[in-house]
Amino acid sequence: MNYIGIDPSITSTGMCVNGKLFNYCYESSAKTKKFDLTKWFELADNYINYRYHDKVEFEGYVDEQMNKIQLYKKIVSSIIKDITSNINNEEETHIAIEGYSYGSSAGNLIDLVQFGTLLRNVLLNITTNIIIISPNSLKLESCKLCYKPIEIEVGKRKKRIKIENRNNEGVSGGKFTKIEMFKALIEKEDISNFNELEKWINHLDTIKNDLGKNIPKPHEDTNDAILLYMYIKANK
């Protein structure tokens, strides 16, 4: 079967198609004024296929809205082209997409919903086997995918055993941040079912000591796409 994970974003969409990685982003975000790749994009250059688009320029509200739609259609077209070029049409295709973060600002959320709706609508032409995973659910599922469940004794008077999903530092899946999701990919003990991701995981291991408090792009969106890919593949 074909498996696809997509972390949709106007600024930086991450996608994993049968283990092959893609990133759709503003060219100005990935390159310097001299058109060299910035640090993190250069480090990931051997593993990710970049697809660039330009920032929307507009004059006034009406012009802004139409130009945004045209941009979203361009990005979606590029995504669909990469999907159809990297799947076996004779096999079933299963897609996992990250849902919307309602903590986003109103303007960003509206734009993302417009983009996401266009993308989902076109994906239905490829397959109806599509699941939407909320950001919070993806955090929990990432923990389940990469760490073994542990038994914890709870209760003061009447003791009982509770099964929880935590990482090696004791952080529960529900409290994962992008840092914990990054670590989860490195610390997953058995990747025999995901050998196609070995090079990327090894890459993450080599850069882990260079990270600050946030995961830089394109790594952040690529990791999310990979975890979505792993989730849909593991559950099928």
pLDDT digits (tens, 9 = 90+) for 96-133: 999 988 766 666 888 999 999 999 999 999 999 999 99
Q: pTM to 2 decimals?
A: 0.93
| Count, residues in the chain | 236
Q: Which helix (H) or strand (E) holds 13?
A: strand 12-17
Residue with token string 């032409």: 125
Alpha carbons within 13 A on the beta-carbon side of 224: 27
Question: How many helices, marked H, and strands, marked E, lie in the chain?
Answer: 8, 8
Domains defined along the chain, listed by start: 2-234 (3.30.420.10)
Cβ-contact 158, 126 below 8 angstroms? no
Across 55-59, 149-153, 158-162, 219-223, the highest mean pLDDT is recorded for: 219-223
Residue keyed to tokens 């972390």: 7
Q: Any residues with CB less than 8 A from the CB of 216 and at least 6 apart, and which?
A: 39, 40
| Torsion, CA 74, CA 77, CA 79, CA 81, rounded to 10 | -140
